[in-house]
Each structure stands twice: as structure tokens, then as C-alpha cells.
Chain A
Amino acid sequence: MEKVQKPSFIERFLQLDRRIIYTLVALAVAIPLLFPLGLPIKVTPEVQSVYDMIEDLPEGSNILMSADFDPASMPELYPMMKSVMRHIIRKHHKLAITVLWPNGPNLVAQCIEELKQEYPEWTNTVDYVFLGYQVGGAIVIISVGDSFSGTFPKDYYGESTDGMPIIKEFNQLGQADYMVMFEAGNSGDWWIVYGTEVHDVPVGGGVTAVVAPMYYPYLQAKQLNGIIGGLKGAAEYEKLTDVPALATSAMDSQSMVHALIFVAIVLANIFALMLVGQKRRQAREEM
């Protein structure tokens, strides 16, 4: 009768039940949220460039913001959008906001409401206009090159945009002194190709971590002036504006899970190599 060999520790480790991994991930997220470590956050030059641009523009400059994301990427992009908007309000810039993703406009509305609690003097139609969502993606971008009021005859709240005080001075993409786009996909490419390159408007990108590496070539080609990448980028911007919030408090959990996955991958590779060595030895012995 053939003897059934018990799996070695290495084999058992490599066959680890997925539920154990899931539990470890959940714990690595939850524990640092309850007991923060306060790891220092380093500001990268990509994020600093976006901050500097908004900081250095003369007061009352026109800034266009496009919030092209939905609840699926809200934990990453919402905190950074809020920090950037807060910075814009502090510098008294004029702000026009568009949305190219249909599931996004209510998130922007929520952000505006929250900021209005902090800055009650920030006035709709004078300091900012929330143009809302329009269907069409790249077509909308081309169209705002002509006019905001033509592309968005009604703002998010259903009011006519034509005749609004802010629209009298800021009614075209070309009139923007700077643009910040928050992107969870490739609509940022469209903004660059059909919008900012055509009208020569400097642009910075707040992007989800998934798409961040794809935006680096634009940064090097100076088609983007800076990148705020993922939740870490959001935490960096919170640090720059001196208002630590959701992103900052999430950084320790983020670090812990990354460390956990890092260790898991390294161990799995070392053990897999050892297993190969073991099997080779066994085969040699059997010969």
C-alpha cells in the first residue's frame, strides 16, 4: 500500500485558505483605523505642482474643474476634490465645475454643500457655477470650447446659466487660467486632446491610482502640470492645505495592507522556490 505523504509546511502555506487572506486584509484595514500610527506623509513633486499652480495664480483667476468619476472611486477622488476645492475657495478663484460621468454630479453637489458649511460666503453663480452633467464625453469637451452656457443651458440646480455673473466673465474653456480634472478613467485623455491642448490651458490631474501610471507620460510631455495620484495623493494635498481629513486618516490602513500583501508575495515566492528545490532533490533521490 502506498504511503500517503502529509503535505509539508511550505505546501500548506502555499495552499492557504483564501478566507484567511481575506480576514487578514480586513484586519489590516480595520485596526489602523481604530489605532492610528500617524506615519509621516511625504509630498511628491507631482502633487506640489498642482498646489503651487493654484496658490500662485492671482486672486480671482478662472479655474475649470471636471469631476469625471462615480461612487466606485469616491474614497480616492472625493477627498482630493474637496481639498482642491477648499484651496480654490481660500484663494478666491472663480470656479466652474463640469461632470462627464453620469453617476458623479450628486457627489459634487454633496462636496459643495459641505464646503458651504465651512465658507458660507462662497456664493453660487458669483464665485462658482456647478454646470452639472452633460452627455457626450469628448463631444462635450469640444463644445465647452465654444461656451459653457451653450453646452449647459441649465446648471445642476436647473437655473439658466446664461446671464449668471460668473458666466459673463468665464464662459469658455479658453478663458480658464487653469484646469483641474478628477479622473477615474480615460476622459482625462479627452480633456487633453480635445480641450486643453487646443485652447492652451494648463491642466493638473487628480486621478485614481488605477489610471495614475497612464497619466505620467502626459506629465513628462508637459501636457499635464501635475498629478494627484490615488488616496496617497489626496493625503498629500490634505497635508499641503493643512486640513487632514479622510485621506490622511486612511493612510495607515493603506500602508498596513500594502505591507501585508508585500510580505505575502515575497514569502509565497521564496516558498515556491524552496518547493521547486525540494521536488528536484526528491526526484534526484528517486533516480
Chain B
Amino acid sequence: MQFLRKQFPVMLAFVMGMAMFIREFVPSKFSEQLYYGFTDWAIVIVGFSAVFAILSLLHHHMNKVRRRVEGYGYSVITILAFIQMIILGLIFSVRPGTPAGWEYQWLFVPMQATMFATLAFFIASAAFRAFRARTWEALALLLAGLIVMIGRVPIGEFISPHLSTFSDWIMNNPSMAGFRGIILGVALAQIAISVRIIFGIERTYMGGGD
């Protein structure tokens, strides 16, 4: 049992990782089948993990109700909303024109969109309060931010065409260089972590699972 819990997963990750890596350099019918066979299975697995994510959310809210934690009434709302939605969804599907599709359009869409729209107020207030040029680095951040913010909308072009040209230059040169550095860094890190996973040095992705 201990072998299945500890060593077997590490060995399996190694075998799968090496098989998928090596097949990349061995073009053949079998290698194609292995590649697309894996993705076909993976889609089924990810489907189950998506269901797991939702079940955990419900589990969390059911526990809150069971323990009568403060504000558990809100969890009751979540559970009831879930139950009615899944019943309607499974019977009629969630496409437009169905009861669940209607709920998606008139309940889900406005709530999600508004949640993110409120950030407009917070970002404006935060920019006013905290966006100060206290150091040279902050000054660089501030100037780039101001020029891009105003130069990328029609009013920037209206004030002066140079504003828009300068903001284009920032986007296509220094800003792009910064993000290029980040992309290169991320790619290098991804490759390094791949090696660590395949060779069993990195195991945190397996989670606890007692």
C-alpha cells in the first residue's frame, strides 16, 4: 500500500513524462496515437476534476449550514440556487431559450459583469491616492502609465497626435521589452519545472490527499 501511495505516483509521472517527451522526436503513427490518445483521456480526467471543484464548493457551503456558522443563511441561498439550476440545466440544457439559459442571461451575466465593473471605482480612487512619484522607479511607472492611459484613447489623439505616437512607441518598445523578459523568464522556469516533475524532484502538484 505504501508503494502505491508514495513510489508508484512518482514512477508513473516519470514514465508518462518520458513517453510523451520522447514521442515528440519519433514521428510515427504510433507516436501520434499515443499523443492524441493521451489528450482524449486527459479531457475526460479534467472533466471529472471540474466536477470535483464544484462538489468541493458545495461541500464547503453544506458544512457551513450544518455547523450554523455565522451567515450560514447565505450558504443556503447558494445551495438552493445550485439545486434549481442543475435541475433545469440537466433537463433542458443551458442554451439560450431554456429556463437555465434565461437565468444565465439575466442573473449570471449581470452579476459577474458588475462584480468586475465595480473595480473601475476602486482603481480610480486607488490611482488618486497611491500613484505617487516618490522614487525614480515610481516616476518611470507613473509616466509610462499616464502616457499610455491618455494616448490610447481618442482624447489623447485629439489633444496631440504625438501623445498617441509616443504611447505606441512605449507599447512596442520598452513595455514590450519588459514583457519579453517576463515571457522568457516564464518559459525558462516552465522548462526547469518540467524536468523537476519528470524526475520526481517536484511533487507538490500531487497535493496531500492524506
Contact surface of A with B, Cβ cutoff 8 Å: 16, 18, 21-22, 25-26, 39-42, 44, 70-75, 102-103, 106-107, 109-110, 113, 134-137, 139-140, 142-143, 145-146, 150-151, 156-158, 213-214, 216-217, 220, 229-230, 232, 251-252, 254-262, 264-266, 268-269, 272
Given contacts A75-B113, A146-B36, contact A258 B125 (CB under 8 A): no
Interface residues in B160-183 (C-beta closer than 8 Å to A): 164, 168, 171-172, 175-176, 179-180, 182-183
B179 and A268 contacting across the interface, CB-CB below 8 Å: no
Given A22-B125, A265-B146, 19 other A-B contacts at CB below 8 A? A42-B154, A103-B108, A106-B96, A109-B95, A136-B39, A136-B46, A136-B47, A214-B183, A216-B175, A256-B155, A261-B149, A265-B127, A265-B128, A265-B142, A268-B128, A268-B129, A268-B131, A269-B133, A269-B142
Contact A134 B121 (CB under 8 A): no
The reply on B50 being an interface residue by CB < 8 A is yes
Of residues 103 through 126 on chain B, the ones whose CB sits less than 8 Å from some CB of chain A are: 104-105, 108-110, 112-113, 115-116, 120-121, 124-125
Rounded to whole angstroms, the CA-CA distance of A109 and B182 in the bound complex is 36
Report the bound CA distance from A199 to B150 in whole Å. 39
Give the A-binding residues of B (Cβ under 8 A). 32, 35-36, 39-40, 42-43, 46-47, 50, 93-96, 101, 104-105, 108-110, 112-113, 115-116, 120-121, 124-125, 127-129, 131-133, 142, 146, 149-150, 152-158, 164, 168, 171-172, 175-176, 179-180, 182-183
User: Are the C-beta atoms of A21 and B128 separated by less than 8 Å?
Assistant: yes
Q: How far is the CA of A75 from the CA of B109 in the complex (A)?
A: 11
A-B contact list, 24 entries, CB within 8 Å:
A21-B124, A39-B154, A39-B157, A72-B112, A103-B112, A106-B96, A110-B96, A135-B46, A136-B46, A139-B46, A143-B36, A213-B176, A214-B182, A220-B176, A230-B152, A232-B153, A255-B158, A256-B155, A258-B150, A258-B156, A261-B124, A269-B131, A269-B132, A269-B142
On whether the beta carbons of A151 and B154 are closer than 8 Å, the reply is no
Are A21 and B131 neighbours in the complex by a CB distance under 8 Å?
Answer: no
Q: Are B108 and A265 in contact, with the CB atoms below 8 A?
A: no
A258: chain B residues at CB < 8 Å are 149-150, 153, 155-156
Residues of B contacting A: mostly = helix
Please name all residues of chain B whose beta carbon is closer than 8 Å to the beta carbon of A269 when the two chains form the complex: 131-133, 142
Which among B109, B124, B176 is the interface contact of A74 at CB below 8 angstroms? B109
Q: Which of B105, B121, B127, B149 contacts A22 (CB 8 A)?
A: B121
Given A75-B113, A143-B40, A269-B142, verify A16-B128 contact (CB < 8 Å).
yes
Q: Which residues of chain B come closer than 8 Å to A252, judged between CB atoms?
A: 154
In the assembled complex, the Cα of A285 lies from the Cα of B116 at a distance in Å of: 49
Q: Which residues of B contact A26 (CB under 8 A)?
A: 121
- Chain B contacts for A71, CB-based, 8 A: 108-110, 112-113
Q: How far is the CA of A143 from the CA of B131 in the complex (A)?
A: 45
The distance in angstroms between the C-alpha atoms of A254 and B125, with both chains bound, is 16
Give the secondary structure class of A's interface: helix
Contact A217 B180 (CB under 8 A): yes
| A257→B175 contact, CB < 8 A | no
User: Looking at B47, B105, B127, B128, which has the most chain A CB atoms within 10 Å of its CB?
Assistant: B128
Cα distance, A257 to B150, chains bound together (Å): 10
Cα distance, A74 to B180, chains bound together (Å): 28
Bound Cα distance from A150 to B41, whole angstroms:
12
Q: Is the CB of A259 within 8 A of B43?
A: no
A124 vs chain B, min Cβ distance (A): 13
Report the bound CA distance from A142 to B37 in whole Å.
11
Chain B residues near A106: list those with CB within 8 A.
94-96, 101, 104-105
Tell me the minimal C-beta distance from A111 to chain B in angstroms.
11
Question: How far does the alpha carbon of A255 sit from the alpha carbon of B158 in the complex, in Å?
Answer: 10
Residues of A within 8 A of B101 (CB): 106
B155 touching A266, Cβ below 8 Å: no
Report Cα–Cα, A134/B46, bound state, in Å: 10
